[in-house]
A and B are shown apart, each in its own frame.
Chain A
Amino acid sequence: MMELTLDQGATALAPWSGLREAVRSTILLGWREVRTAFRTPAYLLPNLIVPVFFYFVMVGSLDTFAGGFGIDNWEAFQLPLAILFAVQGGSAGLNMVADIESGYFDKLLVTPTNRLSILVGALSADFLRIMVQATLVLVVAIAVGLDFATGLPGALTLILLSSAWGLSYSGIGFAIALKTGNAQATQSMWVLFMPLLFLTTAFAPKEALSGWLETAAMFNPMTYLLDGMRSLSLYGWDAGDLAGAVLAVVGLGSVTLTLAFLALRSRIR
């Protein structure tokens, strides 16, 4: 081993303001997450392929029943569901668990980095991943003939809305990751998705639901998100449906992201 020198010049620290320092740290740590995602295609690829596959299966197999529900454009009806599969199927929080288990999380905590930057950086990278996945599903659907009711502005709105929902959902993963530091517990988050998904208008329109399922769907925020997304893909601009979807996203996000930040606070001393 060669001998180590310690350049005293490197002792100097830039006199950043707190905010500038926090933003820069967030970008640096977010970029690290993106880089890690690209280096672990085993996590990334299933979330890109499965929703597209799901879209084709649902469209191909149930198209003939669509008329019975009074739906003309079955592809546009199914698209939001495929996108939700994409944005909620991720591995949110697993990288953070890996950092906690390896001790790298502590390494970050002994730098002067703003604590929030560690979580916000990871969330930002996750938001980017979610947007890419949602866009891919949409692009494939359009490429194979989907007729999207609100055109490009509507498509962009759909991507933003679904990605914000995906981020809110990721908040659960990050909260569990930070609270437990356990990969199995974090992965089990996927289980939460299933009841939420089935107790909605995911597979049939509201009018086709009855009894307790209708009641459950009424209290499920995902129902309102799907309504908003379908208004964009299937019917056209509808302020009421969109407002319901935005409220659902904000509602879920407020709870899950608060839990994630509380979990961060409990972990850092």
Chain B
Amino acid sequence: MTIIADNETRPLRIDIPAPERRHSIEAQGLRKEFPGGIVAVAGIDLDIHESEIFGFLGPNGAGKTTTLRMLTTLLRPTAGRATVAGFDLYRQTHDIRRSIGVALQEAGLDMMSTGRELLELQAQLFGIGRPQAKDRATELLELLGLVDAADRQIKTYSGGMKRRLDLASALVHGPRLLFLDEPTEGLDPASRQAVWHEISRLNRQFGVTVFLTTHYLEEADHLADRLAIIDQGRIVAEGTPTSLKASIGSGVVTVATKRDRLEDAGRVLGELEGLTELRVDEMGLTLFVNDGNGVVANVVRMLDSAGIPVGSVAVSQPTLDEVFLRATGSRLEGAGPEGGKQQ
């Protein structure tokens, strides 16, 4: 139990009950259906442990933000049960709000306030006394490199500054569980690296549990201890990035050929020894195999024998993009230079 001093003479004590918190977030059958029968989240299970960074990866519209909004008490689930920071999602919403920090996708900030005013107000709304709120705001502004802009209205801030301020506002009360909705969306690479660094540090140094939604594969791969892939409201794969990649074999072979011969090539390569799965899309053929380097010669020979021209053959280690492809049958939006980095 933590103690702080409200003033010099009177200590204040947390009165949050201290339930068993082995699981930071636990959910069963969590479902959200909007009017008109639109199912945004189709019943998912989550088991997120204390002090881990959990990535929630999926394309836009997959149900990531809806899930986050349910877990942060902003949306009432249609069905299912969950505990967040040890508190029941339906009956202990007030306790949940006191225990979590949230940075939403829109970087919801009051544009007419200054950065300092926003942080001071946010701290006070969490029950922190005014002098301490001032100190806390100053500390966070210094540490997030916003001192020079502290007394300027937020509407003058750049996108990166707004994100940093939003992150600071989620931290004013020192939460043990942090929800970040697309924390680096729209940021330049340098600002993205800076935010990643702070998230990692919060987790490593202070044991803060992080629930992070993203559609950037690289972000999920870089940050998450474990991740779940969500598509059309359902979790289609879950595990550590390493185990997920290992689950599709030790190699991925990508074959390019003429577009009108793709089907023929697929039929021929379906007979390849060591093949665990084959996908055909407009980008070419993706072969999940046990030994990537070992099958290249066979791939070229088989296509050549069938009279199918070979544009290129590339071998790579599996990435989360291939995990996503295998789990959903399509590639993740945004994969490419930002996301589907070949390793």
Report A's interface with B, CB cutoff 8 A: 1-16, 21, 24-25, 28, 32, 35-36, 39-40, 98-99, 102-113, 269
Contacts of B2 in A (CB 8 A): 8-9, 11-12
Contact B108 A105 (CB under 8 A): yes
Further pairs besides A103-B108, A104-B109: 9, Cβ < 8 Å: A1-B194, A4-B144, A6-B174, A8-B2, A25-B125, A28-B121, A102-B108, A106-B108, A110-B102
B304 part of interface (Cβ distance < 8 Å): no
Expressed in whole angstroms, the minimum distance between the Cβ of B161 and any Cβ of chain A is 10
User: Inside 8 A of B132's CB, which chain A residues have their CB?
Assistant: 10
Give A16 to B198 CA distance when docked, in angstroms: 32
B97-137 with Cβ < 8 A to chain A: 97-98, 100, 102, 104-113, 117, 121-129, 132, 136
Chain A residues contacting B143 (CB-CB under 8 Å) are 2-5
By size class, the interface of chain B is 35 or more
Query: Could you say which of A2, A16, A108, A269 contacts B127, with CB atoms under 8 Å apart?
Result: A16
Q: A102-B110, A269-B74 are in contact. Are A11 and B104 (CB under 8 A)?
A: no
Asked if B173 lies at the interface with its beta carbon under 8 angstroms from chain A, I say: yes
Specify which of B15, B102, B144 is in contact with A2 (CB 8 Å cutoff): B144
Which residue of chain A has its CB nearest to the CB of B193? A1
- Selected from A1, A36, A40, A106, the residue in CB contact (under 8 A) with B145 is A1
- Cβ of B139 < 8 Å from any Cβ of A? yes
The 5 nearest A-B residue pairs measured at CB = A103-B108, A103-B106, A11-B174, A12-B4, A10-B174
* A9 and B139 alpha carbons, distance in the complex (Å): 13
A10 is contacted by which of B94, B121, B173 (Cβ under 8 Å)? B173
Do A11 and B110 touch across chains, with their CB atoms under 8 A apart?
no
Is the beta-carbon distance between A269 and B73 smaller than 8 angstroms?
yes
Structural contact, B6 and A110, CB atoms closer than 8 A: no
Q: Given A2-B144, A4-B201, A107-B104, does the pair A15, B15 have CB atoms closer than 8 Å? A: yes
Q: How far is the CB of B87 from chain A (nearest CB, A)?
A: 12
B245 interface residue (CB < 8 Å to A): no
Q: Are A21 and B112 in contact (CB under 8 A)?
A: no
CA distance A21 to B127 in the complex (A): 8
Which of B45-53, B164-172, B291-299, B327-335 binds A? Answer: B164-172
- Stretch among B202-210, B247-255, B312-320 lining the A interface: B202-210
How many angstroms from the CA of A110 to the CA of B143 in the assembled complex?
23
B151 in contact (CB, < 8 A): no
Is A102 a contact of B106 with CB atoms below 8 Å?
Answer: yes
27 A-B residue contacts at CB 8 Å? A1-B164, A3-B197, A4-B140, A4-B143, A4-B171, A4-B198, A5-B143, A6-B208, A9-B174, A10-B136, A10-B174, A12-B2, A12-B128, A13-B173, A16-B127, A32-B110, A32-B113, A35-B112, A104-B108, A105-B108, A106-B106, A107-B104, A107-B108, A108-B125, A111-B97, A111-B122, A111-B125
Whether A112 and B98, one on each chain, are in contact in the complex, defined by CB atoms closer than 8 angstroms, is yes
Nearest-neighbour CB distance to chain A for B169, whole angstroms, equals 7
User: Residues of B contacting A105 with CB < 8 Å?
Assistant: 108
Q: Which residues of A contact B140 (CB under 8 A)?
A: 4
Q: Which B129-160 residues sit within 8 Å CB-CB of chain A? A: 129, 132, 136, 139-140, 142-145, 153
- Which parts of B1-15 form the interface with A (CB within 8 Å)? 2-4, 6, 12-15
B283 within 8 A of A: no
